[in-house]
Structures are given as C-alpha cells and as structure tokens.
Amino acid sequence: MPASYDFIVVGAGSAGCVLANRLSECGKYTVLLVEAGGSDKKLRIRVPIGYGFTYADPSVNWMFHAQPDPGLADRTVYWPRGKVIGGSSSINAMVYCRGLPQDFDDWQAAGAEGWDWASVHPVYERTETKARYSDGKRQLKGDGPLWVTDETHQAHPVSGEFLKAAREAGWPMTVDLNGAKCEGLGIYHNTTRKGWRCSSADAFLRPALKRGNLNLISHATVEALTFEGRRATGIVHRRNGRRQTIKANREVIVCAGAVNSPQLLQLSGLGPHAVLQQAGIETRQDMPEVGGGLQDHLAITYHYDSTVPTLNNQLSPLTGRMAAAMKYLFTRRGMLSLGINQCGGFMRSTPDSPRADMQIYCNPATYSTGDGSSPQLDPEPGFILSFQPCRPTSRGRIDITSSDIDTPPAIKPNSLSTNADCDAVLRGGRLLRQLIETPTMNRLIKRARQADPTTLDDEEMLDDFRQKASTVYHPTSTCRMGRDGKSAVLDARLRVHGIGGLRVVDASAFPTITSGNTNAPTIMLAQRGSDMILEDMRHDG
Ligand SMILES: Cc1cc2nc3c(=O)[nH]c(=O)nc-3n(C[C@H](O)[C@H](O)[C@H](O)COP(=O)(O)OP(=O)(O)OC[C@H]3O[C@@H](n4cnc5c(N)ncnc54)[C@H](O)[C@@H]3O)c2cc1C
C-alpha cells in the first residue's frame, strides 16, 4: 500500500463511487477509496427484490437507531444505512427521483451558488441511461453510466387500479416523474439494469477499478483525518486491527453519508466545541453546524386487506416464489426484478399549494418493517397506501458521544417540531382520503387494518402519525452547503469552510432535503462535485 495518494475518498457509497470514477478517469491522479464495509457481490444485493433481506443484515448494514424522538411519541426508530461497497445504493429500494426542479433553486437560495436547476439538470442528463420496454423490446435514451429503467410494462396489475383510482380522484397523471411533467401519479422508475440492481458501485466503480491509478480497500474504517494546521493531510484507518496513516497529496474527500460524515468530522476536531469537549476530542475548529441541519422524510403507511390478488398472493406461497424465481432465472423479468414501491408520485396537497408538496406510495403488497428485522410479506392479499410530506422544515442533529469511531453517534431527528410540518401531515391525510374514497378503492378495499384518514379527525390524524410514521431512510444536510462556517459547513464547491484540502461530498451536503428519494440527487451532487474538484485542480496546476 503506497503511503500517499493524490486523493483519498472515504466511503464507497452512492457518492464515493462516483468520485472514485471521475477523479481517476484522466489518469493524472492517484486515488484511494476506503470503505468500512465489504463486498457487494451477493445475490441479495444484486437481485432487486433482495433488499428485503439486506434491510436488517448486519454484514452489509450499519443498523443505526435514532434516539427516542419526542415528535414521534418518544419512539426509537430504526435507521438502516449501507455498510458495503455501493453503500446505501446497494441496499436501497431503487426508486429513482431526481427531485423537483425548485428543490435546486432552493439550494441556490440557501447559499449553494451554482446548484440551481438550470445548472444541475444537464448533470442528470449526462449521468443517466433511460431504459424502457415497448412491444417487448428495450429502448435506450442517453448514454450515462447509471441505468434508470421504466418498469411500467411489468408493474403489478393492482398498480393499474391505483392509477385508475387516482384519475377518479381528479389527480394528475405522469409517465415520468423525472421528466418535463414531474407532478402526478405514475409508475416509479428504478435504478436497475437488465433485471439487476444498478448501484453506484455497478454504474461508476466497477468499470473504474480496472485503472491502475485507483485503489479500493474494503473492511477499512477511517477513524480520523490528519491535519497540518488548518489543512487536511490524510487519514488514519483501521483494517484487520491494524492502524495506518495515509497521506493525501491534494485532498481528502469525505463521502461517508449523512450519519458518518459528521461523525468523522467531529472525531477529527471539526464540530460544536461543547459536543467535542464532552466526547474528549480537542477542537480544531469550532463548527456548530457539523451534525446540525439534519433533515429526513417521514411517511405513514396504511395497510388494507384487498378484494383482489396482490404481490402477497404471488410471493408468499413457496410455489409462487419458485415460479417467480424461475421466471427471473430465465428472463431477468418478473417480481424479483422489481422493488415493492411501484406506483406513486408527487401531488399538491391543496389546489393553491405553490408546488407539489406530498409524495404518495401505493404498494401492491403488505408487510411489516420498522423494528430492525427483515420485512415479512403477509399471506393474505393486501396493499399499502402511504404519504410523505416532501419538504420538512424541522431540523435535527447527529453528534458523537464518544471519541471511539465504533460508538454510533446520537441521531436526534427532532421530527415534527415545526407547525409547518404538523400542518403538512394533516394536508397529506386529507389528500390520501380523496384517493381512498374513490369507487375503485371502494371496490379494492376489503377492510382497513387500522384507522385511516377517512375515519380520523385532524387531532387523531396527527397523533396517529406521531405513533406510526417512520423515516423512509433519506437523512440529509448534516454537513450542508451554505454561506459561512457558522451557519453551514461547506461552501458551494463542497469545501469545508476554513479548512484546506477537505471536502464533504454526499447526502450530508444538501442545503435542504429534496422533495423525493435522495439517491439520485446524491449521485448528481457527486458528479457535479467531481467537476468542481477537477476544475480546481486544473486551476491550481
Ligand atoms: C433501506 C433504504 C432504502 C432506501 N430507498 C431509497 C430509494 O428507493 N430511492 C432513493 O433515491 N433513495 C433511497 N434510499 C436513500 C439513498 O440510498 C441514500 O440517500 C444514498 O444512498 C446516500 O448516499 P451517500 O453517498 O450519502 O451515503 P451512502 O451510500 O450510505 O455511503 C456511505 C458509505 O460510507 C461508508 N463509511 C461510513 N463511515 C465510514 C468510515 N468511517 N470509514 C470508511 N467508510 C465509511 C459506508 O459504509 C457507506 O458505504 C434508501 C436508503 C436506505 C438505507
């Protein structure tokens, strides 16, 4: 192992795989990618439906738990995060949502100059290859490394019923939530390629590993960053019980995700002085917002017994699973090649909402999750309806409580701590009620398994949400971009304010959470971040 590299990238997740690819591409720089987890060459990662098994698998998952959350009736909510090559893109539900265009205008307004929609839209375009099927033939658009597949042709028949109900409710329809018409209900597109998961490792890392100037080490935990004065100079990592210091000639790029990036910065002396002092860490630079600014999406799921067969009927019996497995084996199609979140989209909760503010999920299956165990499909036919407020305004924190990297940081989501967020819950419930009360839903619903928005008044709806809502695994903004080191952590080129040679490039850099699922914007951010780093290197010579 060489003692120095031009760039050291910490974390081979959604963002880190992009950085490793892009920085090694021209051949001019040596790049080390360091990942705490191990190989992603596992069927439960590669086969799309397999994320049910990785959801609570400690061999690929950090399996964090948040602190008891007062906004969620003091519940301790399970927070899975990928600990494997590909990071959370190897264990996620594969829904691909760029976010709404105004999300990025919001970023710019928050001080992330140059991250408006007009600037980031071309980055998405060059990142994606869009695949769709027509008359059984695959059609491709674009030639980016990340495959995004339109699964409309093989969505479960019940998804067609959900769309019919939405039309009856007068809701808009869309065929592509990432296209020009990004509002309305439609079939989600997935990060899959020819029936396999297309993680960030598959799209970006695997092709780059052939290069002699890129080195990947797995099962290696970065414990701290090293510094000379106010400049980051490298990392200390631990592998097989051995510690090693490696020097970065140009930059260290932290891509450890929204939970671990602030942890690593704090362990390295960059964070709120009081937090660091309590954990026995010497403060290098007092940065109150490292770990602050945490945002996340919360969703509530309503379970229904169904009058028509759903995925439960197909995948619960052994014979059904065998049939689906054979179909997948021979065609790479069918239920194993998809996620569970098949139908949904972005809606305005009231006609005068200035933009879509609610994400909807209609899943053709019922299952239980949330307590840190693998989800189990129910044997009886059933489906799930769910809503998720798009842009929460509450902000929480993630802070270390110990100087030991192996002690998980304290995750304090601070959910529903603003009136705006509580109001959004009520609007979401009323919106979903419109769908539930359509003739098609009346026909599909045999029985609601719990009180739902058609039976709850406002007070009960909010209380029910506090009792049952859960993270949908989208933490962001814990090292966010912004104007200065007191109100934010990074500048608009993802450099840590006041510190040289150090950037954070992952979901923690979002100034505000985007309206939808966070994998796509994280990958886009890493692509654009790579452009910036390469530009800065050319400028610096
Ligand atoms: C169960 C689940 C379902 C999801 N479903 C979806 C979905 O359907 N669609 C969607 O868009 N988004 C989804 N997401 C969210 C999305 O996957 C994440 O927003 C995205 O992957 C974040 O990327 P990242 O690069 O910030 O972090 P990650 O991809 O989590 O990468 C961080 C990497 O850093 C490594 N690391 C951490 N600390 C260290 C250290 N000290 N030393 C070395 N390595 C370290 C980690 O092991 C990990 O590999 C889901 C997430 C989960 C967990």
Which atom of ligand 1 is nearest the CA belonging to 62? 47
Task: Report which of 173, 168, 167 is spatially closest to residue 185, judged by C-alpha positions.
Answer: 173
What does the pLDDT average to over 98-121?
A: 98
> Nearest C-alpha to atom 52 of ligand 1 is from which residue?
92
C-alpha of residue 164 to centroid of ligand 1, in Å = 34
Same domain, 223 and 348: no
- List, for residues 36-89, the tens digit of each pLDDT value: 999 999 999 999 999 999 999 999 999 999 999 999 999 999 999 999 999 999
| Cβ atoms of residues 273 and 417 within 8 Å | no
Cα pseudo-dihedral 430, 432, 436, 438, rounded to 10: 80
Of 372 and 492, the structure prediction assigns the larger pLDDT to 492
Q: Is the same domain home to 30 and 81?
A: yes
Q: What is the pLDDT of residue 419?
A: 98
pLDDT at 371 over 70: no
Q: Which of 431, 450, 468 is the last residue of a domain?
A: 468
pLDDT at 370: 57
Does residue 127 sit in the same domain as residue 26? yes
* Beta strands at 382-389 and 298-306: parallel, antiparallel or unpaired: antiparallel
Is residue 76, in this structure, part of any structural domain at all? yes
Domain boundary among 450, 468, 486: 468
Q: What is the mean pLDDT of residues 504-512?
A: 98
> What percentage of the chain has pLDDT greater than the value 90?
95
Residue 35, both tokens: 């990942």
- Give the CATH number, domain containing residue 279: 3.50.50.60
Q: Which of 338, 473, 515 to mutate to test the pocket of ligand 1 (most atoms within 8 A of CB)?
A: 473
**pLDDT > 80? residue 97:** yes
Looking at the domain assignment, is residue 338 inside a domain? yes
For 487, counting Cβ atoms within 10 Å of its Cβ (0-12 exposed, 13-18 middle, 19+ buried), the class is middle
Instruction: Record the pTM.
Output: 0.98
Residue 93's pLDDT is what? 97
Confidence tier at 368 by pLDDT (50, 70, 90)? confident
For residues 210 and 25, is the Cβ–Cβ distance under 8 A? no
Are 413 and 449 in contact, with CB atoms under 8 Å apart? no
Q: Which residues are catalytic?
A: 474
Both tokens of 518, joined, read: 């966070």
Residue 359 pLDDT grade (very low, low, confident, very high; cuts 50, 70, 90): very high
Among 303, 325, 304, 305, CA closest to 314: 325
Same domain membership, residue 434 and residue 329: yes
| 381 and 337 within one domain | yes
**Ligand 1 geometric centre to CA of 81 (Å):** 5
Say whether both 462 and 500 belong to one domain. no
* Residue 84 CA to ligand 1 centre (angstroms): 9
User: What pLDDT digit, counting tens, does each position of 311-331 carry?
Assistant: 999 998 999 999 999 999 999
Pocket of ligand 1 from Cβ distances under 6 Å:
10-16, 34-37, 55, 80-83, 87-89, 91-95, 97, 221-222, 255-258, 260, 264, 473-474, 506-507, 517-520, 522
Give me the pLDDT at residue 2, please: 80
pLDDT in tens, 234-271: 999 999 999 999 999 999 999 999 999 999 999 999 99
**Is residue 142 included in any domain, yes or no?**
no
pLDDT at 367: 87
For residue 144, is it within any domain?
no
Q: What is the pLDDT of residue 373?
A: 78
CA of 284 to the centre of ligand 1 (A): 27
Mean pLDDT of 473-483: 98
Residue 145 maps to a domain: no
Same domain, 312 and 427: yes
**Region 275-286: what's the mean pLDDT?**
98
Which of 506, 515, 505 is closest to 81 using CA atoms?
A: 506
Kindly report the protein residue whose alpha carbon is nearest to atom 37 of ligand 1. 256
Q: Is the pLDDT of residue 135 over 90?
A: no
Least confident stretch, 25-29, 223-227, 389-393, 536-540: 536-540
Q: Which amino acid is at 5?
A: Y
- Per-residue pLDDT tens digits for 151-207: 999 999 999 999 999 999 999 999 999 998 999 999 999 999 999 999 999 999 999
pLDDT, position 54: 96
CATH number assigned to the domain comprising residue 311:
3.30.410.40
* Tally of residues, the chain: 541
- pLDDT at residue 369 is higher than 80: no
Say if CB 339 and CB 155 are below 8 A apart. no
CA 319 to centroid of chain Cα atoms: 34
Q: Is 501 helix (H, G, I), strand (E, B) or coil?
A: coil
- Tell whether 178 and 165 lie within a shared domain: yes
Return the exposure string of 239-266: e unless at least 16 CB atoms fall within 10 Å of the residue's CB, then b. eeeeeeebebebbbbbbbbbbbbbbbbb
Contact by Cβ (8 Å): 292, 375 = no
Residue 141 placed within a domain: no
pLDDT of res. 376: 84
Q: Which two tokens stand for residue 187?
A: 């079939």
Our mutation pick for probing the ligand 1 site, out of 77, 88, 266, counting the most ligand atoms within 8 A of Cβ, is 88
Categorise residue 405: left if φ over 0, alpha if ψ from -120 to 50, beta otherwise. alpha
Number of domains in the chain: 2
Residue 143 inside a domain? The answer is: no
Same domain, 463 and 314: yes
- pLDDT band at residue 375, thresholds of 50, 70 and 90? confident
Domain membership of residue 381 (yes or no) is: yes
When pLDDT is averaged across residues 113-119 and rounded to a whole number, the result is: 97
Q: Are residues 244 and 103 in the same domain?
A: yes
- 501 conformational bin, left if phi > 0, alpha if psi -120 to 50, beta if neither: left
Q: Is the pLDDT of residue 374 over 90?
A: no
Same domain, residue pair 58 and 72: yes
486, 357: one domain: no
Domain that residue 274 falls in: 1-133+196-296+396-412+478-541
- Residues 13-33 have a mean pLDDT of 98
Question: Which residue's structure tokens are 């009520």?
Answer: 426
